[in-house]
Structure 1
Amino acid sequence: MRQSSSWSRPIDPCVLSRVCGQRLVTLFAFTLLCHIMTACSSPPSIPAQIDAIERMPVQTVLVHDQRIAYLDVGTGPPVILIHGFGGSIWQWEYQQHGLSQHFRVITLDLPGSGLSDKPEMDYRPDQMLDYLVGFMDGVKIPQATLVGNSMGAGLAIGMALTHPSRVDKLVLIDGLPQQVMTKLTSPSVRRALETSAPSWLVSFGNMLFGRLMIESVLQEIVHNPALLTPTVIERSNRNRQRPGLIKPLLTARENLPLWESGFATRIGDIIHPTLVIWGEEDRVFPIAVGEELHRTIKGSRFARIPAAGHIPQWERPDVVNQELITFIEP
């Protein structure tokens, strides 16, 4: 009997392979086209508010013709919070209310990150310092306490060494050490820093598997898995999907040698009052790295944060906020 429909006929493997190949090429071409169009398009709009544990108004200031997004709450001695590699404003969400009762708290998205513009540049340490100085000028802050997490701590160190009059006190939270690649223990961060893949290919993978990738990274930098709710993971993935984000991230590979040959060799020259805070369960840079950084900076204080990983200010804000208030208050 003749078959009544084609669905039951055997599928020619060659035809299947050709069809799948054509669809893959089409998907690849579409992704590449989107990447090119995104690079040529106007910068995305910056929302009026950011959704964190509470809705907070987002402000912007032009620095070197680029929009820098930031939060500005409270009054008193100014404190600037600086996020780390691949981070953004949300990593400081639990500091906004607690610290603003004592200080003027300014939290920025660095150029190339979060809601801020992502200009075509090398993102060298000296360029990032120029933007930070320009930001402080733009918001009319001649001097502030700088609080940096991870690579943000590296930027704070650079400010203390090159613009010492702009820094009052220094807080380094799970910060950037000397010999980064030797001391780094996070497989995900290591892969991100060592990849030689072009930005369009990384963007392609990010589009397809971004949520899985960000969940894997968060599981390494956050000690308590109960904090990684679907809402937190989805928010992190949305931030990772913002246009233009991948290319600035990939510049870290080229810029690490500049850190090692520059500011990293001068950490011992820091003269500012310094507090080093470290999560006891940090799987990016183990606590021994923090203890070494503390010993390198003469007169610094060291605070261990129990049950916390690489972003203890987010995992244990109760403990970290009290450490910050005690150290920064005159």
Structure 2
Amino acid sequence: MQDWWKATFPKGRQTLRITDANGHAVSIAYGEKGTGKPLFLVHGIGSWSYNWRYSVEPLSQYFRVICFDAKGYGFSEKPVSREKPDHQIIELERIMRALCLDEPAVVVAESLGALASLAVAEDYPKLVARLVVINVSIFPKGLPHWGMLLLSQMPLELLETIDYGRMTYLLAPLVREIMAIERRSVLFDPSKLTELDSYWMSYPFIELSGTVTKVAEDLQIAAREIRHLQENKPNLISKIQNNLERIKCATLILWGKEDSWFPYSDGEKLRDRIPGSKLKILQNCNHDASSGSPDAVNAAVLQFLWDTDFLNQ
């Protein structure tokens, strides 16, 4: 099987060392292509850089495109220490600083990655020149998928036993098929998911120990934060919601008309909360926009950057 990193990025998979939210040194996997101003592609929960496979080449014609795997995901390190609720926000900010030396970047992010990106734009406005968020989990009513609910309720100790006992490797065909079913469910056209896609999307869960545990841990954090949101207890989501007016960069909100996880009315609500933001509804698009509707996503991103004079600077 051809190495996806080598096939996609001139230098293949690179490694960045950062200090994570717990104060530990961790390795972050990333790739970059193109020259010019930096543009980050930020994946959602349970996925990794492969989700942006259709965007790297088109956007690299105009930008230095940077794809990275969040800690615990894809090919990045998976430490056993327990996580803080805001660890993805802290680590996204540190990754951006390390790779851009504080140069303001375009951030294109989806789902949970978009939620973290909203927080970074609120707290570190000098880091974000333009922001595009896609199907962002900013007004959640609950975890949107049965598989997420299942993982969020399993003891992490049990999942660690499964992970480090390589049980997912031993059950690779079953794991790959379950993940294929899950990915098809968030595509408007399920037939777009190829056998190669199934192989690479499931690869970290099958081949890289710790992936299942770290994804489950983030799901448990998300479930707890959503529950606290509903109970009006202190939580990270309401903090991000309450600070949306602090986002000063030009912002585009993209939402799949057929998103089965979060309704596009959430996008309308978000547009009303971010000063000067624009909302574009993507037709024939489910939750997984980067994989299912990449042409529409890429075109919308480039048009937004033209309209806000970023490509002319």
| Aligned ranges 1:157-168 → 2 under 5 Å | 157-168=118-129
Q: 1:86 — aligned with what? A: 46
User: CA 1:229–1:97 in 2, change beyond 3 Å: closer, same or farther?
Assistant: same
Q: Is it true that 1:95 corresponds to 2:55 in the alignment?
A: yes
Contact 1:81-1:105 within 8 A present in 2 as well: yes
**Equivalent position of 2:146 in the other structure:** 187
Please tell me whether the aligned partners of residues 253 and 279 of structure 2 are also in contact (alpha carbons under 8 angstroms). yes
Q: 1:281 to 1:201 in 2, by over 3 A?
A: farther
Matched, 1:58 2:13: yes
Report how far residue 250 of structure 1 moved: 1.6
- Which AA in structure 2 matches 1:127? H
Q: CA deviation at 1:254?
A: 3.9
Aligned partners of 1:160 and 1:270 also within 8 Å: yes
- Which of 259, 264, 267 matches 1:290? 267
Match of 2:279 among 281, 289, 302: 302
2:192 to 227, 238, 241: 227
Consecutive unaligned residues in structure 1, runs of 5 or more: 1-47
Tell whether the 8 Å contact from 1:111 to 1:117 is kept in structure 2 after alignment.
Answer: yes
Provide the rounded CA distance (Å) in 2 between the counterparts of 1:52 and 1:321: 22
Count residues in correspondence. Answer: 282
Q: Give the secondary-structure state (helix, strand or coil) at the position aligned to 2:115.
A: helix
Q: Which of 8, 22, 31 in structure 2 is aligned with 1:71?
A: 31
Query: Which AA in structure 2 matches 1:59?
Result: Q
Distance 2:269 2:149 in 1: 21
How many Å apart are 1:122 and its aligned residue? 3.1
Q: Which residue of 1 aligns with 2:75?
A: 115
1:236 equivalent in alignment to 2:195: no
CA distance in 1, matches of 2:264, 2:149: 18
Q: CA deviation at 1:284?
A: 1.4
SS of 1:262's partner is helix
Q: How far off is 1:206 after superposition?
A: 4.2
Contact 2:58 2:298 in 1 (8 A): yes
Higher mean displacement: 273-282 or 290-299: 290-299
Matched, 1:252 2:196: no
User: Which residue matches 2:99?
Assistant: 139
Task: Work out which of the two has the higher radius of gyration on C-alpha atoms and give 1 or 2.
Answer: 1
Q: Distance in 2 between matches of 1:122 and 1:227?
A: 36
CA deviation after TM superposition for structure 1 residue 310, in Å: 1.2
Structure 1 contact 188–216 (Cα < 8 Å) conserved: no
- The 5-angstrom pairing of residues 33-48 of structure 1 reads none
Identity of aligned residues (%): 26
Which moved further from structure 2: 279-288 or 184-193? 184-193
Tell me how far apart the structure 2 counterparts of residues 52 and 60 of structure 1 sit (CA, whole Å): 13
SS state at 1:86 partner: coil
Instruction: Provide the TM-score with structure 2 as the length reference.
Output: 0.81
Q: How far apart, CA to CA, are the structure 1 residues paired with 2:152 and 2:242?
A: 20
Q: CA deviation at 1:53?
A: 7.4
The one-letter code matched in structure 1 to 2:107 is: L
Q: C-alpha separation between the residues in 1 aligned to 2:183 and 2:237?
A: 26
- The residue aligned with 1:16 is none
Q: Give the 3 Å change call, closer, same or farther, for CA 222–239 of structure 1 in structure 2.
A: farther
Supply the AA of the counterpart residue of 2:282.
I
Q: 1:52·1:93 contact (CA, 8 Å) conserved in 2?
A: no
Contact 2:39 2:106 in 1 (8 A): yes
With over 3 angstroms needed to count, the CA separation of the structure-2 counterparts of 1:186 and 1:283, relative to structure 1, is farther
How far off is 1:201 after superposition? 6.2
In structure 2, what is the Cα distance between the partners aligned to 1:306 and 1:290? 14
The corresponding residue for 1:170 is 131
Cα separation, 1, equivalents of 2:148 and 2:280: 24
Q: Which moved more, 1:185-194 or 1:82-91?
A: 185-194
The CA distance in 2 between the partners of 1:52 and 1:83, in whole Å, is 19
2:153 touches 2:220 (CA, 8 Å); kept in 1? no
SS at match of 2:28: strand
- Would you say the 8 A contact 2:139–2:266 is kept in 1? no
SS across alignment from 2:45: coil
Q: Which ranges in structure 2 are unaligned for 5 or more consecutive residues?
A: 20-24, 226-234
Matched-pair contact (CA < 8 Å) for 1:189–1:284: no
Q: Deviation of residue 71 (structure 1)? A: 1.2
In 1: Cα distance, 2:6 partner to 2:153 partner: 32
Q: How does 1:8-47 map to 2 (within 5 A)?
A: none
